[in-house]
Amino acid sequence: MVRSPARNAELALLLEVAGTPKPGNVDRERDVDDLHFEHFLAGAVGTQKGLRLAAGGTPVGEAFEAAVAGMSDQSGGNTQFGCLLLLVPLVRATTQRGLAPESAAHVVEHTTVADAADFYCAFEHVDVYVDDPPEDMGTLDVRRGSDAVPELERRGLTLYDVMERSAPADGVAAEWVNGFERTFETADRIESGQGPVTDRAADAFLALLAEEPDTLVAKRHGRETAREVRERAAELHEESERADRDDVREFADELVERGVNPGTTADLVAAGLYVALERGVEL
Amino acid sequence: MVRSPARNAELALLLEVAGTPKPGNVDRERDVDDLHFEHFLAGAVGTQKGLRLAAGGTPVGEAFEAAVAGMSDQSGGNTQFGCLLLLVPLVRATTQRGLAPESAAHVVEHTTVADAADFYCAFEHVDVYVDDPPEDMGTLDVRRGSDAVPELERRGLTLYDVMERSAPADGVAAEWVNGFERTFETADRIESGQGPVTDRAADAFLALLAEEPDTLVAKRHGRETAREVRERAAELHEESERADRDDVREFADELVERGVNPGTTADLVAAGLYVALERGVEL
């Protein structure tokens, strides 16, 4: 029996949140304020309809909005919005022409203005943390939701165009314009790892966090904090080759206390897990 | 948006395994030998096809076998066989005539010889721990899988008949013949609880374990051990009204070390969670 792409995507969401220690984020061992592990479980189960639509050929924007609507059927708030923005085009690519960086790039490059409109509507289902929009995008602030659609249409912006404008400050949008580079690197890392996949997901999280500043942390707490978190992660990542994980756990506790959650990095891990599962990584 | 019965059943499996501390079993904080948390996540996602069949009106045996086949698509072995034996008829009852003890009883009482045959075939997908069969059931040892089907047919035994014979020594089969009594009691307990649903699931686990000896423990380790575990659970359950959970965690660690896992009790919690979700308990 082979799991369908939609089910692998849901399983990727579950494995991602189960990986521990994952500094600053909800994981198997940590809840964060009013956001609990169970909200992620319910969120993941809720995405299934939208993910199946994506697998069946429904346009990316529409499938994404459906997935976000289903995800939001729990009281914790935003659990996997960013993950879905990666998973939906990846699932679409898988069934359309086989999963690879090129096919994923093809899917996102062929999104339309209607996809962009559905993406904006998705913000009405859940409170997503976003920064002020880039200078020329003021009237296209995603927080306006469907109110921004007429302006999108007037300017003829596709969802890819919107992501291109967000890419410099948003690690998820950056994947859209760079052929899902870090996603596929993360899949390689997970596939070549040893032991439970949830442990490999936690390792991949630390590796990604060590590599580049998390853009959600940068938006919420400023670039300086994002840089500091990256440096701390880099030190721990080097040590983790030989050390046990107590020091990573301490860092995890500290970030949770400070309210610093590297959410974009978690999104990349979920996407990497999906690719690894599609390629047959065994659980 | 309302989750479908099949998705609520999958979410019940996820919430069950996430509840901690749950003495002796895999939970959010504990893996057991080669059986990891991630195997339960993959197992739960895999059940979806069979659960949807049950919701759509496929006979209980066939839907159960499909759910077990999907659950088995991971390397940890049996993760949720007993849970599914409760969830499949409950899901069927939900869509057929509304979820209640009477409708669940109606579904199981109307199972057929074909349902029994499919149940036996389900044992071929995964290694399930079972005891020697009752005296008059030697040729109907479930470990014979589909080889036992001709004998089942000769004797005209329905799946309900099989469960009736197993009920004295099996807490899951007992639910089939007593109107899912402990399942619905567990749902009441979860609904009237406070805080995260996963915490309430862990409380319900301890309460059930304190109430009656776990039949899986009795089969594997003897009745004396099952009695001892029940007594320890009863002491902790009384204390837990006022104490924190460190003592329950210690007990959990001890049981894991001894290899004692009250699996039947976990099955009842999953079934109770499903009923609570269907009744609208909020996450």
What are the tens digits of pLDDT across the range B1-11? 579 999 999 99
For the stretch B142-165, pLDDT in tens is 989 999 999 999 999 999 999 999
Put simply, the answer to whether A31 touches B196 (Cβ < 8 Å) is yes
Give the mean pLDDT of B268-282.
97
Evaluate if residue B129 carries a pLDDT over 90: no
Q: What is the rounded CA–CA span in Å between residue A3 and residue A15? A: 15
Residue B40 CA to its chain's centroid (Å): 13
Q: Is the ipTM reported for this complex over the cut 0.90? A: yes
Region B5-278: CATH code: 1.10.4200.10
- Interface residues of chain A, partner chain B, Cβ below 8 Å: 1-3, 7, 10-11, 14-15, 18, 28-29, 31, 36-39, 41-42, 44-46, 48, 69-70, 72-76, 196-198, 282-283
Q: Which residue would you say has higher pLDDT here, A109 or B240?
A: A109
B24 near B262, Cβ under 8 Å?
yes
Tell which residue, B73, B159, B57, has the closest CA to residue B118.
Answer: B159
Put simply, the answer to whether A37 touches B48 (Cβ < 8 Å) is no
Give the mean pLDDT of B67-73.
97
Please state, as a whole number, how many other Cβ atoms lie within 10 Å of the Cβ of residue A280: 8
Burial of residue A60 (CB within 10 Å: 0-12, 13-18, 19+) is: buried
For chain B, which residues make up each domain, given as ranges?
A: 5-278
Tell which residue, B35, B185, B159, B34, has the closest CA to residue B101.
Answer: B185
Evaluate if residue B224 carries a pLDDT over 60: yes
Which residue of chain A is at minimal alpha-carbon distance from B67? A1
Tell which residue, B140, B47, B259, B30, has the closest CA to residue A45.
Answer: B47
Q: What is the rounded CA–CA span in Å between residue A235 and residue B280? A: 46
N residues, chain A: 283
State how far residue B267 is from chain A, nearest Cα, in angstroms.
Answer: 18
The lowest-confidence range among B75-84, B100-109, B247-256 is: B247-256
Where chain A has pLDDT below 50, the residues are none
pLDDT band at B241 (very low <50, low <70, confident <90, very high): low
What pLDDT does A243 receive? 54
Q: What percent of chain B has pLDDT over 70?
A: 98
Side chain identity, residue B20: T
Give the mean pLDDT of B63-91.
97
Give the mean pLDDT of B177-192.
97
